[in-house]
Amino acid sequence: MNKLDKIESKYIKTDIPEFKAGDKVRVKIRISEENKDRIQVFEGIVIRIKGTGINKTFTVRKISFNNIGVERTFLINSPVIQSIEKVGDGIVRRAKLYYLRDKVGKKSKVRFK
């Protein structure tokens, strides 16, 4: 382990559940507003997992009101993320699900186990 990895290892979380692209996750995000902290939940399908170590990120896509797709990318080890919960085990054939962006209706859905 080199010295830079040692610095990073302090910030890398070990309690994250294993999930892959296509899974449905519920991410709890801490949002601080003027001396107040609240938790916001973002639930959707993981369309991308990218990077390694402290730079690892994942992107969650959900369909919001009026069928507008919303994507958020999180640093997996960020202290802003309070918890990640795996809700569904998706069946997909790709590691990056960018094709979901162009699909509407039933085709934009992912089957679950």
Partner 1 sequence: MINAIYGKKLGCTQIFNEKGDALYVTAIEAEQCVVVQVKDEKKDGYNALKIGFGSIKDKKASKPHKGEFDKNKVELKKYLREIRVDKFDSEYKPGDNLDLKVFKIGDKVKITGNNKGKGFAGVIKRHGFQRGRMSHGSHSHRIPGSVGMCSTPSRIAKGKKMPGRMGNKQVTIRGSEIVDIIEDQNLILVKGSVPGAKGSFVLLRKV
Chain residues in the site for partner 1 (CB under 8 A): 3-4, 6-8, 10-11, 30, 32, 54-55, 75, 77-80
Residue 93 buriedness (CB in 10 A; 0-12 / 13-18 / 19+): exposed
- In the complex, the smallest distance separating the C-beta of residue 7 from partner 1, rounded to whole angstroms, is 6
Residue 39 buriedness (CB in 10 A; 0-12 / 13-18 / 19+): exposed
Closest to partner 1 by CB, 75 or 87: 75
DSSP element (H, E) containing 45: strand 36-50
Closest CA to 109 of 45, 25, 49: 45
Closest to partner 1 by CB, 2 or 64: 2
- In the complex, the smallest distance separating the C-beta of residue 75 from partner 1, rounded to whole angstroms, is 6
Closest to partner 1 by CB, 2 or 66: 2
- In the complex, the smallest distance separating the C-beta of residue 101 from partner 1, rounded to whole angstroms, is 26
The values of phi and psi at residue 86, to 5°, are -85, 125
Q: Which amino acid is at 50?
A: K
Closest to partner 1 by CB, 30 or 88: 30
- In the complex, the smallest distance separating the C-beta of residue 111 from partner 1, rounded to whole angstroms, is 34
